[in-house]
Amino acid sequence: MIALWRRIITAVGRVFRGVAHRWRSSMQARVVSTALAVGVVAVALLGSFLSTSMRDGLFEQRRAQLDVESARSAAIVREAFASTTASSLADVQALMSTQVDTRRNGATSAQGSMLASAGEAPAVPAGVFSSPVLPEVVSDELKAAVLDSEDQMWQPVLIPAAFTASGQDEPGVVFGAVVDVPTAGRYGLYTLYSLQPEQETLWFVQRTLLGGALGILALIGVITWLVTRQAVTPVRRAAATAARLADGHLSERMPGKGYDEMATLARSFNEMAASLQDQIRRMEALSTSQRRFVSDVSHELRTPLTTIRIAGELIHASRDELDPVARRSAEVLQTQLDRFEELLGDLLEISRFDAGAAVLDVEQCDLESIVVGVVDGATPLAERRGVFLSATMPDDPAVADVDRRRVERILRNLVTNAIEHAEGNPVEITVGCDANAVAIVVRDHGIGMTPDEVAHVFDRFWRADPARARTTGGTGLGLAISLEDARLHAGRLEAWGKPGQGASFRLTLPRRAGLSVENPPLPIMPAARALHGLPTGQIPVVLPAEGASPTAIPDLDAVPVDGQPIPTDGPIPTDLPIPTDQEARR
């Protein structure tokens, strides 16, 4: 039984949720339901007013007729008692029995009549009635009021079902008037009338009103539905057309006929869509041309660059034979040629990403070996900058299907940038993994970033401070290429930063190629990492330059996020406080 009730409740809840969703998602449904609700209230109020008015009118009209008939009946009875010659009590009793007969006293439409006194008269009955229902419905209050007054009195009553032909309780009214019975004293003449015909008339009128009300509500619903359909259908077409346009179907248009407002809207919408299509096509053509130009220029520059590099290497090899100024120029030339070649390589890589020609060379490898290789390569730079570089590895192997060359490039860019902006403070690399994904977090304690800088950190050629000197000679495309590499793996590359408290970058990759990343195994925010109980004992990979002491890592527990402290009880957020996806930012 409990299971049955649960199924019933579940089914009812499902129906209710479906109706609620339909009501929220359809303007036409809301308009029709609102119109019907207003119509129901209006029809209910009007029907109640009309029913009450007709009920009171029917009752008052019938009561006035019966009041006249009852008064005439009382006058006939009084005249009969006044003109009688009966002197014995038996004759008086016989006359009373005759006068309660409605066929004799003029109350032809009455259910019956009754003569009743206030108490027992000697040898004369206290009451004589023509119908047994009268003693049941005539109350003592009406009797007392009739005997104490010379006016005719009336009282509404309910005739019991036992005394009705229909077998149901019927409404009625009793009229009472005082009469003088010879040798017996004052008696009350009570006449009962049934109001069942009027009740049936009222029921018929009410049923007619109910049918009319239902018809009016149905008409209101149909009219509202038709009217709103005329207004909503073009809006739905516009929404569907806009959705198609958003999906890339730029030739989609709205059908528009006539000269009304909706037709004008359709024509304006189509003109806007045509203008957008033309502009998008122009932008696509321009973008294609620009990508082709960058690719062609990059390829074309390879040949003169090779020639210049050969000449530069010859000059650089003979720099000891040159004077100091020329020797310095040869060294600068060699450095800038290296940077120029790196820039051309990055431009070619970006052009491959833009053209959709970049592919993965996937192999299964342990990220620990990649991290160690990158750290070894960054050792000289860290020593020159006086940066304490450390790495923390997980207990389980962080094995994933990745393109080793691209992951090395991502990590190399992150570590190099961290060392460049650490300002002599430690740089930490943390590797984590779970059943579905692997993650690498690169954390520095340098100048940090504002939320606006975090939002633009992956933009091409973007720099937080263009006037700030660089020692590594970056091209401005490293993080942009890293983001594309991460996306190519179906992974995520995210950033976090606080001015004066450093920055943190997290690379998350799926363990199996082609799968998506849901929840990263490592949090990106420092306070969240500390509260997650990550290992604090770190493996020193590169020590500071000789004679320098390691800089103490600041307390991470107190680092706020966007001005709000990290809660110490409850779940710790692992996502960025602001989005870093380049498409989302645009």
- pLDDT tens digits, residue range 113-126? 888 886 544 445 66
Domain ranges of the chain: 86-198, 251-358, 363-466+474-585
Matching residue, tokens 């006249």: 68
Q: Which residues contact 345 (CB under 8 A, 6 or more apart)?
A: none
For 363-466+474-585, CATH number out of 3.20.20.10, 2.170.130.10, 3.30.565.10, 2.40.40.20 equals 3.30.565.10
CA distance 390 to 538: 6
Identify the pLDDT of residue 298. Answer: 66
Identify the band that residue 456 occupies on the pLDDT scale cut at 50, 70 and 90: confident
Report, as an integer, the average pLDDT of 447-462: 84
Identify the band that residue 527 occupies on the pLDDT scale cut at 50, 70 and 90: low
For 86-198, CATH number out of 3.40.50, 3.30.450, 1.10.150, 1.20.1050 equals 3.30.450
CA distance 412 to 370: 10
DSSP run (H or E) holding 194: strand 185-194
Say whether pLDDT at 475 is over 80: no
Residue 313 is encoded by which pair of tokens? 């290497």
For 251-358, CATH number out of 1.10.287.130, 3.40.50.1400, 3.70.10.10, 3.40.50.880 equals 1.10.287.130
Say whether pLDDT at 533 is over 70: no
Identify the band that residue 103 occupies on the pLDDT scale cut at 50, 70 and 90: confident
* Per-residue pLDDT reduced to its tens digit, 225-260: 898 888 788 888 888 888 888 887 878 888 877 777
Give backbone dihedrals phi and psi of 383, rounded to 5 degrees, phi first.
Answer: -65, -40
Matching residue, tokens 């029995």: 97
Q: Contact, 502 vs 520, CB < 8 A?
A: no
* Per-residue pLDDT reduced to its tens digit, 551-580: 333 333 333 333 333 333 333 333 333 333
* Per-residue pLDDT reduced to its tens digit, 378-430: 888 888 888 888 888 888 888 898 888 889 989 988 999 899 888 889 999 99
Identify the pLDDT of residue 329. Answer: 84
Q: Is the dihedral of CA 78, 83, 86, 87 positive or negative?
A: positive
Identify the pLDDT of residue 514. Answer: 73
